[in-house]
Structure 1
């Protein structure tokens, strides 16, 4: 393949799709990688499928396809970007790659946000929630993370997308102890360490453990957040946590204990699994 002088977009997609399938990878990654290296996205790629790739495009694309196929390295790490809610965000091995389910959390927060609300995103990672909320709502957005490296990526994403977000380094709600918060959102680590061996090899090898795993059957982050909420004099009017699909009952009980006057609800995702727990006044 490397010896071919010319390669059209159509030929590149045909080769890459076949090569990826032979290695047990998803063929759709061929399109995503080619979009990145050609700068053509969506229908634009297929409208120009007879265009010849430049030498640089071809070599970069072939290398990326081989790397993903042979090692399992996520295409998001290879390209350094990942889509979320219609925008591309910079990602590195220091942050969790955004998941589709988190867009459902974003939808929920957006629907419950009013003009002038202050939103706190706890454990922001690459900043996808905080940045998107700042761009999609008229809220004042704050975000925390314990990882200095993750905050660096989040700040880059906010700057490149023109989002006004205030970032704080620290554990959970501690950096915001004196800040008024109307809405609290968090997608914390929620996988139990005991479940590590059951995960896909790619997840174990390439996603940051700090963003994936938590003690106490994966519930430690929720326990900590609920404890901190209970201790606050000024509690948010709306709280939303993304959860693992088996954790709905446990997290609901924690929020009911921390905020006994609130209405607590477990919400299912598009696949019918428990995915979000909310508490509202």
Structure 2
């Protein structure tokens, strides 16, 4: 079978679950994984015949995709902020909006003036480790910690730290119970924030495959993790330290009010590239 014929086969098989552009993107990611081809390689070689082994692997990928399994889990890997990450069903697939959060932390260059020593950062609810590892890769002198309640997630994040050759301190704990005497200049988190009533609006491939522990909170207490992390940040942030959150687009106002009630200052609610309220940055006011 020629590569272009397999592309058409992928598109037809996935048309019920994905749009044409998304199906094309999935196919290119699949051949990138199996053949190490980029888009330009496909254009130049699309009339080439695939050998039987390559065809078998790609057809197996398609079969798994047709079952509803997300491509990143099928391949067992993804790219986040230009870095490779291994994935498994115990961690969320990193999203582009989380890359925007990482960029915001990195762009806050004034962080480097918070302390004369190396920056101290902690990522809470680290999952695959994508936030912590990306920050460490870009702030190589920083002391970076990463916390998650899931042992399986910590294992994957640790593997990703080794893959990306960075030194991260991993902590397995529930942030609602975790305490430390250590101080941090930056606390960042993308905690669970999807309410149970929002489940019906979600795509099946997310509901059926991604870990609910990392996704959902109750309708009655949708900000439970934000409150716990804000309390943690208040006691552990250095003077004028910064707290960053990824948030539920429908709860921006409520999250800002929570932080105001806890005396955080310089609160900025920021939209993502789709125009949705997605991120918050605030500051722990210096204690006079």
Please list every run of at least 4 consecutive aligned residues from structure 1 whose deviation after the TM superposition is greater than 6 angstroms: none
Contact in 1 for aligned 2:186/2:237 (Cα 8 Å): no
Question: How far is 1:158 from its partner?
Answer: 0.6
Q: Do residues 101 (structure 1) and 97 (structure 2) align?
A: yes
Q: Which SS does the other structure have where 2:15 is aligned?
A: helix
Q: Do residues 11 (structure 1) and 8 (structure 2) align?
A: no
TM-score for the superposition, normalised by structure 2: 0.88
Query: Which residue in the other structure is 1:157 paired with?
Result: 160
- Matches of 1:244 and 1:203, distance apart in 2: 16
Q: Which SS does the other structure have where 1:218 is aligned?
A: coil
Query: CA offsets per residue over residues 155-204 of structure 1, 9 Å max, x none?
Result: 00110111111111101275561212001100000011232233221111
TM-score for the superposition, normalised by structure 1: 0.90
Question: Which of 112, 124, 127 is residue 125 of structure 1 equivalent to?
Answer: 127
- Matches of 2:226 and 2:217, distance apart in 1: 10
Query: Which residue in the other structure is 1:252 paired with?
Result: 256
Question: How far is 1:48 from its partner?
Answer: 2.8
Contact in 2 for aligned 1:238/1:278 (Cα 8 Å): yes
Contact in 2 for aligned 1:268/1:275 (Cα 8 Å): yes
Question: Which of 42, 47, 52 is residue 50 of structure 1 equivalent to?
Answer: 47
Question: How far is 1:77 from its partner?
Answer: 0.8
- Matches of 1:234 and 1:240, distance apart in 2: 14
Question: How far is 1:51 from its partner?
Answer: 3.2
Query: CA offsets per residue over residues 5-49 of structure 1, 9 Å max, x none?
Result: xx2322221221222115546312111112111122343333332
Contact in 2 for aligned 1:193/1:218 (Cα 8 Å): no
Query: CA offsets per residue over residues 98-135 of structure 1, 9 Å max, x none?
Result: 11110100100111242821111000000011111111
Query: Which residue in the other structure is 1:134 paired with?
Result: 136
Equivalent residues in 2 for 1:70-89, closer than 5 Å? 71-89=67-85
